[in-house]
Structure 1
């Protein structure tokens, strides 16, 4: 019963199994109390031992995350500025405003079927 308190799935089942098999509460309670004290001590000890590496990770991680967020912000700003100008990345000035069409559809400035008749995006349709 004591060891079962340290195994994740078994920890949930031990009290139920003890009750189902008729083990009296007075016999189960001391094991549960001792296991809880040992478990708490192990968790506190692990946290204390990891404190130095956590401080180092925070000291290095916060500037790294801030730098990545700044780069992402600049990239998003640049993409929006290009989109407002009508030249999104991957599109030439002559293709600005043309909708992407699938097989059998024609795309144009006003959507499928609109714009200049006979022209398709990426030459997918005749």
Structure 2
């Protein structure tokens, strides 16, 4: 059986990885629209924390997760800047965005269900 410390660490790592993956997906999508770095970072932040914000509003979990702990914002910003630079100078397969999006969805589905369960919501 997994203890509470390991469980919380696993959830924290999954949140950071999911946030980074969605920020990179948002940055890649922004690159396709030829946005500058500010536009890429804004779109990456919206992609990274937008779904969790909607989840917290629906579950009435206030304040919203990124207001309490800004780690998600920092992860999204750094991931967006790294993706912006990498996409400018490196070629990447177009399917990369689809693969990253699927990975992010898989992580956040589990995290959303876990958050709803921890708030006492019924299935």
TM-score over 0.5 (shorter chain): no
Please identify the structure whose Cα radius of gyration is greater: 1
Task: Answer 1 or 2: higher relative contact order, Cα 8 Å, separation at least 6.
Answer: 2
Higher helix share: 2
